[in-house]
Amino acid sequence: MKVFSNNAVSLDGRINTREGRFTSLGSAHDLVRMSELRAQADAVLVGGATFRRWPNPSLVEPPVPAPPGHRPWNVVVTRALDVPLERAFLTDARVRPLFITRAAAFERPEARDVRDAFPDAFEAWPGGDEDLPIGWIVDVLRRRGVERVLVEAGGDLVFQFLAADALDEMHVTLCPLVIGGRTPSLAGGTGFTFDEMRRLRLLDAKQVGDELFLHYRVSRTEPR
């Protein structure tokens, strides 16, 4: 399985402003690039915070043509399942919805009712309050026939994929913006030490207008 990410960031590495609402930092060129990458993926994965801000299908948008028969998994990773569970999303024929969560999330009757109505759209981890294990998430997707996963999640989930050595490539659009403050960054979480930092190898760089489109391979950490 190949796992790759795509994010637009400001010059100071931020992915959102202090309002915390759904924000598109990139230009029209960046939106085209996003659709090109989605067209390559069997699954598009986001976190709960991202989905709460924009609870809609992740689709290939014009002018990029979708591959024939393209019906990607739309995966939402959420520990508490505190996200919109709208029937319109769950029944959208253009995608295959999948909510990955903890078993404890179904203690709420409304969550159980939706799961019972759409059993194929939910996977539950039986563990406790910790983050959902990335290796388990990858195995869930592999069992469903996914071969190429596009991660469009926020910084915390991107960090978890990096920390688990589960991210193969990163696509980053560097936008001519400065946000500053204590705003979300490309990789959040607890952060790495100097020895743990993930190293990247630049595969491609392209300038379009004032934006830079960067493509990196993530180097695996050495076993200790």
Note the pLDDT of residue 26: 93
DSSP 64-75: SPPPTT---EEE
Residues 6+ apart with CB under 8 A from 188: 154, 155, 156, 158, 159
- Any domain includes 38: yes
- Any domain includes 135: yes
Residues 6+ apart with CB under 8 A from 81: 48, 99, 101, 102, 105, 106, 108, 111
Note the pLDDT of residue 222: 59
Question: With the CA atoms of 18, 20, 21 and 25 taken in that order, what torsion angle do they form, in degrees rounded to the nearest 10?
Answer: 60
pLDDT < 70 regions, the chain: 221-224
DSSP 173-186: EE-S----SS--BS
- Any domain includes 8: yes
Note the pLDDT of residue 155: 93
- The residue type of 173 is T
Q: Are 39 and 60 in contact (CB under 8 A)?
A: yes
- Any domain includes 223: no
pTM to 2 decimal places: 0.94
Q: Give the residue numbers spanning the domain of 105.
A: 2-218
pLDDT, tens digit (0-9, with 9 covering 90-100), for 36-64: 999 999 999 999 999 999 999 999 999 99
Instruction: Please tell me the total count of domains within the chain.
Output: 1
